[in-house]
Amino acid sequence: MKTLKVLGTLLTYPSADLVKALPEFQGILKKETWLPEESLKTLNYLMDWMADQDLLDLQEEFVALFDRTPSLCLHLFEHVHGDSRDRGQALVDLSEVYKDAGLLINTEEMPDFLPLFLEYLSIIEAEESAQNLGEIANVLGVLAGRLKNRQSPYTAVFEALIEAAANKPDAKAVEEALKEAAGKASSFDELDKSWEEQNAFENTLQTTGQDMDVGCPKAEEMLARMNLDPAKPVDNKEA
């Protein structure tokens, strides 16, 4: 499924080749019809906006959002585990999932880098992909909310992923996380301090799938769902 790979590529550092490929990306999204019309409309707006930007300005905007704003970090486990040891084990487990699918990471990015995760989802069954997106729905919802607060066109990617997910974000959990960090730009002093603050989501049964009283969370629930039988029906909830 090329749609998810396209969405992941849109969340990578902008390059001249990426901008050149935007018309092709628009064609892929339209042809696969995996996303609703409204999502395609906002994604087309994003890509038209990217194409109209000076490349250096586009790169600066990307860095300001995703590299210099910790609350907009594109590493999924940062929003659940922070820098705890639990994240390390979860990264190892996720790497094994990729290897089992025949994928080897050939970049310096961690396995939980969202574009990498979306590339993995792009090669498995559509229903399984939707289920896995549902497992990270709260993180997607918070990132969408923070980007919306920044009035960023990149919001379109996260809203599209939520549309494609089997489960939708918990509105209350998202609201609470946005109160903690709304996604505003940080000063350099705030940037240093923010990396030391508590994660957006606690390591709880709801976010890790495990009871904290019986063992360390390792994202096993999410990883287990990655290996679900593709033939098993998925309960797609309405947005």
Q: Is the pLDDT of residue 132 over 50?
A: yes
Report the C-alpha gap between 154 and 111 in whole angstroms. Answer: 22
Q: What is the pLDDT of residues 14-27, one digit of tens each?
A: 999 999 999 999 99
Higher pLDDT residue, 102 or 13?
A: 13
Q: What is the pLDDT of residues 172-228, one digit of tens each?
A: 999 998 988 887 876 556 555 654 554 555 444 444 444 434 433 434 454 444 443
Q: Is residue 95 part of a domain?
A: yes
pLDDT at 89: 82
Q: Is residue 126 part of a domain?
A: yes
Q: Is residue 32 part of a domain?
A: yes
Q: Is residue 10 part of a domain?
A: yes
C-alpha distance from residue 220 to each of 193, 195, 199 (Å): 30, 25, 19
Q: Is the pLDDT of residue 109 over 60?
A: yes
Q: Is residue 101 part of a domain?
A: yes
pLDDT at 103: 83
Q: Which two tokens stand for residue 151?
A: 């009035």
Tell me if 137 sits within 8 A of 79, measured CB to CB. no
Domain span at residue 133? 2-226
Report the C-alpha gap between 13 and 183 in whole angstroms. Answer: 19
Q: What is the pLDDT of residues 47-96, one digit of tens each?
A: 999 999 999 999 999 999 999 999 999 999 888 766 656 777 888 888 88
pTM reported for the whole predicted model: 0.77
Our measurement of the distance from residue 9's CA atom to the centroid of its chain's CA atoms, rounded to an integer in Å, reads 11
Which has the closest alpha carbon to 160: 22, 46, 66, 67?
Answer: 46
- The mean-pLDDT minimum among 29-38, 74-83, 230-239 falls in 230-239
pLDDT at 233: 39
C-alpha distance from residue 110 to each of 41, 88, 91, 94, 236 (Å): 31, 10, 7, 10, 29
Q: Is residue 29 part of a domain?
A: yes
Q: Is residue 162 part of a domain?
A: yes
pLDDT at 112: 87
Q: Is residue 237 part of a domain?
A: no
Q: Look at the chain and report how many structural domains it folds into.
A: 1
Q: Which two tokens stand for residue 81?
A: 């585990």
Residue type, 190: E
Q: What is the pLDDT of residues 36-61, one digit of tens each?
A: 999 999 999 999 999 999 999 999 99
Cα atoms found within 13 Å of the Cα of residue 179, Cβ hemisphere only: 6
Q: Which contiguous run of DSSP H or E holds residue 208?
A: helix 205-208
Tell me if 82 sits within 8 A of 208, measured CB to CB. no
- Stretch 113-134: mean pLDDT, rounded? 94
